[in-house]
Structure 1
């Protein structure tokens, strides 16, 4: 007996095998030439902040305190440390307008943070810790920067 088998093959997509083999062995196809990259945009550098004379005096005075040390109850300690007024004098060099304005701003910040009873920087300086004094210095510098003075 002979069995007849009808074979009806379904037609296939001719690209199907190519796609299957590409998935099994991915080789990059040559890419179309890329469009030229746009020219880099040159941005102008941001404006450089020029510290005003008060900000510079305060910043220099705090740097002096960081370098030489902070003192209480005396303008200049024998080992070189200074109180806040001593640091302002060292930074300003002379008792000029920047020195006076920096002192005024420092005292205003001290009064803002520690109470209105402070009449002068030396009394305030001598009644607080180094961390408290530094915090006032830093706030005064930020304020001078913000005011651009």
Structure 2
């Protein structure tokens, strides 16, 4: 009995140039810039820095609110405790200068993430906040911040 080392995959052979052409269409080369004199180009190292991420208004509001909770404390059943701790809504209000679009969008994203992690039945941030542990609440805050970051909002 002879061993057959050839394996039939059933894949149709694709011209590799096809991929190169498709990629070229998706990501065309930038327009070339005028060439610098060779002497200057050789003596000056060029460092390309990635673009700096600037947090959008929603990400900043969520991040500032979580920093407020870390600094002043997290609370249940009250917007603001006498010692200064706040619930999640209280922290959002402290982080946002006003009940503006960023405040509303941050609250909606936080509630959406709470529903993702803890079930769709939560009607409001205060009811969810008051029914969960600090670790559970923090997990939702952190996930909401990551989502805002990835959504660039």
When normalised by structure 2's length, the TM-score is 0.71
Matched residue pairs, number? 112
**CA deviation map 1:21-63 (0-9, x unaligned):** xxxxxxxxxxxxxxxxx85742222111010000000000000
Q: Does 2:140 align with 1:136? A: yes
Q: CA RMSD in A?
A: 1.1
Q: Distance in 2 between matches of 1:103 and 1:86?
A: 11
Q: Distance in 2 between matches of 1:141 and 1:67?
A: 17
Which protein has the larger Cα radius of gyration, Structure 1 or Structure 2? 1
When normalised by structure 1's length, the TM-score is 0.73
Gaps of 5+ in 2: 1-41
List structure 1 segments (4+ residues) > 3 angstroms apart after TM superposition.
Answer: 38-41
Report what 2:112 is aligned to: 108
Q: Does 2:32 align with 1:61? A: no
Gaps of 5+ in 1: 1-37
Report what 2:131 is aligned to: 127
